Amino acid sequence: MAKANHTRRPAGGAKPGAGSTRRSAGGTGAAVAPRPAQTPTPAPAATGGTTSAAVPMRRSSTTATRPAAQRNRRRQQIPWWRTQGAFIGTLVTIALIVALFVLLAHNSQGAVALQPAPPQVVSAVTQVSPSVFATVGAGDALVVKPVEATNGHPPILKDASGKPIVIYVGAEWCPFCAAQRWSLITALGRFGTFANLHLVSSSSTDTYPDTPTFSLRGASYTSRYVALSSVEVADRNQQPLTSPDARQQQAIDTYDVVPYTQAGNEKGIPFTDIADQYVAPYSGFIPDLMRGETQQSIANKLSDPTDPLTQRIIGNANELTAAICVATNNQPASVCAAAPIPQIQKTLPKGQ
């Protein structure tokens, strides 16, 4: 299988326009940025202007000028409300009105972006038949290594209860995040249950526009075997949502960089860290086959192991499952001992 040319965007700010070769990970001041998983490269992230150097203050050439400077300083310290109160008050009122309209517009955009996922769709995605997993096997993920082994043999990342942690960082506007979520939710559905999943589509102005998917914003996950730590750093309208927390940021800084990503393509989205044992710094497949589909129509395909889109979603999910099983010490056996997981585990990369 040929390795796809993923493009990435920084994982912490709003996404740049389409056509860039880097990705952003919209967050509220996050250090992470979104990256599309494979070929089409999103638009370059907008860079802020440089801050000009401070100009040194010059002292007066004679002491005779100092009293004038001191008088100016004192004059500038006269309370503003004694001289321009009415004018400033008007400006403040106008600014508050403008801020209110901006806030209302932002809230309305976020409300439109998300819809609760119907139970039948969630069930179809999280309770795929074991025979479909076995038949698809590694499937058609279109990348050579859907997961990469971490180097240095780090300890398994666990929560306070001792469960391995899967970290996911993405953004709702990102089309490659949209693809990766299908496989991640399917894989995690084998170990536990989701609640409060929502429907969302990727940006209509990015590569692979309007890719149907789910958002993990506000979702919860319950499992006896693994914990999920997820963050969506920006919404479908590229508005910042939440920054990665300290643990998520540590994973990004450690594993969303070379040698796990290509040089110049670091710290982007989607990014998945499986208990610090394996990382998926890209999506396992490109979402081209999702064009014109809906969440319902894609969920319906997951019962057909011969469907090309099913082979991509389930093939990638099997790779993620095999890596998660390494972190859980192959528990539960009903998942980790079932075909094709033992066979795929034999092909997983080895860390140095």
pLDDT in tens, 47-59: 333 333 332 332 2
Joined tokens for residue 249? 């940021």
Confidence of residue 249 (pLDDT cuts 50, 70, 90): very high
Query: Average pLDDT, stretch 233-239?
Result: 95
Residue type, 165: I
CA–CA gap between residue 184 and residue 313 (Å, rounded): 9
Report the percent of the chain where pLDDT is more than 70: 67
The pLDDT of residue 10 is above 60: no
Length of the chain equals 352
Confidence of residue 88 (pLDDT cuts 50, 70, 90): low
pLDDT in tens, 150-198: 999 999 999 999 999 999 999 999 999 999 999 999 999 999 999 999 9
Quickly list DSSP for 23-64.
E----SS-S-B---SSSSPPPPPPPPPPPPPPPPPPPPSSGG
pLDDT in tens, 252-294: 999 999 999 999 989 999 999 999 999 999 999 999 999 999 9
CA–CA gap between residue 267 and residue 247 (Å, rounded): 15
Q: Are 236 and 202 in contact (CB under 8 A)?
A: yes
Confidence of residue 107 (pLDDT cuts 50, 70, 90): very low
Query: Average pLDDT, stretch 68-96?
Result: 45
The predicted pLDDT at position 156 comes to 98
The pLDDT of residue 83 is above 60: no
CA–CA gap between residue 177 and residue 35 (Å, rounded): 8
Average pLDDT over the chain reads 79
Closest CA to 121 of 302, 314, 290: 302
Query: Average pLDDT, stretch 203-227?
Result: 97
pLDDT in tens, 108-150: 444 344 899 999 999 999 999 999 999 999 987 666 679 999 9
Q: Are 188 and 294 in contact (CB under 8 A)?
A: no
Poorest-pLDDT segment among 11-15, 87-91, 266-270, 333-337: 11-15
Closest CA to 316 of 182, 177, 216, 221: 182
Query: Average pLDDT, stretch 70-77?
Result: 29
The pLDDT of residue 22 is above 60: no
The predicted pLDDT at position 140 comes to 75
Confidence of residue 94 (pLDDT cuts 50, 70, 90): confident
Terminal C-alpha separation, the chain: 23
Model pTM? 0.73
Joined tokens for residue 104? 């209302």
State the burial class of residue 205 (Cβ atoms within 10 Å of its Cβ: 0-12, 13-18, 19+).
Answer: middle
pLDDT in tens, 305-339: 999 999 999 999 999 999 999 999 999 999 999 99
Instruction: Please give the residue that has the higher pLDDT: either 144 or 224.
Output: 224
CA–CA gap between residue 274 and residue 147 (Å, rounded): 9
The predicted pLDDT at position 132 comes to 98
pLDDT in tens, 338-352: 999 999 999 999 988
